[in-house]
Amino acid sequence: MCDYTQAALTCSHLLQNGAPDEYFKASNIIILLMLHITREEGTMSQLLIIIQLFFAVVIGMYFLNMLRSQQGSKIAVEKESKKEMEKLQRMRGIHLTKPLSEVTRPSDFREIIGQKNGIRALRAAICSPNPQHVIIYGPPGVGKTAAARLILEDAKRMFNSPFRQDAKFVEVDATTVRFDERGIADPLIGSVHDPIYQGAGAMGIAGIPQPKMGAVTKAHGGILFIDEIGELHPIQMNKLLKILEDRTVFLESAYYSSDDTNIPFHIHDIFQNGLPADFRLIGATTRDPESIPPALRSRCLEIYFKPLIPDEIKVVTRNALRKISFESEEGVFDLIGKYATNGREAVNIIQTAVGVNINENRDKVTVSDIEWVINNGQYSPRPERKIYNEPQIGYVNGLAVYGPNMGTLMEIEATAINVRRGTGRLIVTGIAEEEELRSRDGRTIKRKSMAKASVDNVITVIKKFFGIDTSEYDIHLNFPGGTPVDGPSAGVTIAVAIYSAITNSYIDNKIAMTGEISIRGKIKAVGGIIPKVEAAIHAGVKKVLIPENNWQEIFKTFDIEVIRMSNIVEAINLATVRQSDVKTMITPQPAETNILTAASICGTPAIQAMGDKNIPL
């Protein structure tokens, strides 16, 4: 019996070690013990007892070792987690001061400078019983994001607003949104975590697909703000359009079956009825409207935030200095207004200048500080042009738009030299004569410059309506400024400039104009008329000539005289100045034609015919 006891102790020791080969040794010892007992005792009952003892010990020791292993893993995980948590707490205890751009961020609509009309339109769209989807266009740094962040709280204060007090504002940056075409991950729309993917958890082991909510569902009952919405992938854009229509997100998975009773009820409901996504979309973009899909534009109210003018840049700069309690000398705001094109640039210039002052133990920003920042940062002057102080021959103030809804004064100058009949040339500089257009489907189209086509139209009009043979002149038409110009809206300006150069007629320096000209002498409507008129005001223009079809009643409220014109005759009559009215400091030049009058026009047979039929004089 002593041998049996010794053998049992050996088995116990081997089983406690837990290694597979130790289990095998213990099993062999127990089997030998059983055979020995059977041979010596010969009783079946003792054999059964030994077998039961064997299995009980093996199973017990197996689970004991598993428990020890799990306990050890848990202790190691908890130890690592405690270490990482301490590291996180130490990191969270470190705080830098806020950057000036964040300190000066608008916390109220009154702090958003220069966007009175845009904010009014945004409030009309969102703060109403039936809020609409919105797309905000505008250059960077003019308050688009700030306005979007503030509008929901403004809407909640309306008594008839559908937004509840707990409505959420969910912000997504389209430039960083990434998704998988297989549907594995889509933080904007939502996705399904299929059981085959790593990290599926207990449901994955059970073969249950798990829907994951995207931003459109998280914004349910509130506002989804997508910054730079024009950068969204076309696939996501199409999905978003469907959600705006259905106000529900429908997800699919090859692992879902409506007959599978193992799938929880809420997942059945999600796949059959979809996830709720009843929100209002506010998208912001620095792109032109033409780059946004028409299907999305048609579902949204389009609001335009205008670029900031120098006076508004000054207000932003003054507010930034006030918030950090810093002083500045006279001329600082004017200088920043000449270079900064938006609020963010103005704040960055101020922040750098203040940093220089602090490093040099000074407490007042000087003009020389701003000049150093501008030169070091390689800032370019704003394309702000002012009118000349006196009338000119062959020089006309045109109007143009550039970027997202930004207007500017455009100089157009022309000279005409009399040459032998039939030898005259036309030289045009400062425009893009040919350009390549790339469509959304990747095709490239070459087309002739619209500005060049406008010049061709002007030559035809001058020959037909004024009886001037342009082949008798070397005409040089120039668009100064170094920026390539294109577009048909300079047509009437070109016509007036060439007419002035040929006839030596003075053009009123306080008049600016815009309009496309047809070969029938008509002035056709053009785009961007509001920013063009605003640019004329800032340039010091007193009168603006616009196409009759561009007239709006709002022009009556502008601090400038806006005059409608319908044909080239009206444009030239309004733009030219009598020599007697020109300042005495200008030496009069011989002029073949002074002022174009109805009588002089009717004296020309070609113009007489046109005047009778098409052009009201």
Q: Are 230 and 292 in contact (CB under 8 A)?
A: yes
Q: What is the DSSP letter of 522?
A: B
Q: How far apart are CA 546 and CA 100, in angstroms?
A: 43
How far, in Å, CA of 458 to CA of 535, rounded?
A: 25
Cα–Cα distance, 527 to 400 (Å, whole number):
9
CB-neighbour burial class of residue 236 (10 A; exposed 0-12, middle 13-18, buried 19+): middle
Four-residue CA torsion sign, 304, 308, 312, 318? positive
d(CA 138, CA 112): 14
Residue 116 phi, psi (nearest 5): -60, -45
Question: What are the beta bridge partners of residue 473?
Answer: 418
Distance between CA 291 and CA 294 in Å, rounded?
9
How many other C-beta atoms lie within 10 A of the C-beta of residue 399? 29
CA distance 525 to 489: 8
188 close to 178: Cβ distance less than 8 angstroms:
no
Alpha helices by DSSP H, 408-552: 450-466, 491-503, 529-538
Judge contact between 561 and 544, C-beta under 8 A: yes
Name the nearest CA neighbour of 575 among 413, 391, 414.
Answer: 391
What DSSP letter does each residue of 431-459 carry, written as one string? B-SEEEEE-TTS-EEEEE-HHHHHHHHHH
How many Å from the N-terminal Cα to the C-terminal Cα in the chain?
Answer: 136
Q: In whole angstroms, give the CA distance from residue 24 to residue 424.
A: 110
CB 564 within 8 A of CB 551: yes
Measuring CA to CA, which residue among 316, 360, 368 is closest to residue 337? 316
60 token code pair = 């017990």
Distance CA 569, CA 575 (A): 10
- Say whether 400 sits in a helix, a strand or coil: strand
Match 């199409």 to its residue by tokens: 238
Which of 228, 215, 216, 224 shows the shortest CA–CA distance to 291? 228
559-562 long-range contacts, CB within 8 A, separation 24+: 560/533, 560/536, 562/533
Alpha-carbon gap, residue 243 to 248, rounded angstroms: 6
Strand 301-304 and strand 280-285: pairing? Answer: unpaired
Residues recognised as catalytic: 489, 532
> In what helix (H) or strand (E) does residue 513 lie, and over which residues does it extend?
strand 511-513
Residue 567, C-beta contacts closer than 8 angstroms, at least 6 positions apart: 521, 522, 523, 614, 615, 616
User: In which element (H, E) is residue 527 found?
Assistant: none
C-alpha separations of 587 from 365, 391, 421 in Å: 47, 11, 29
- Token pair, residue 484, equals 């390539």
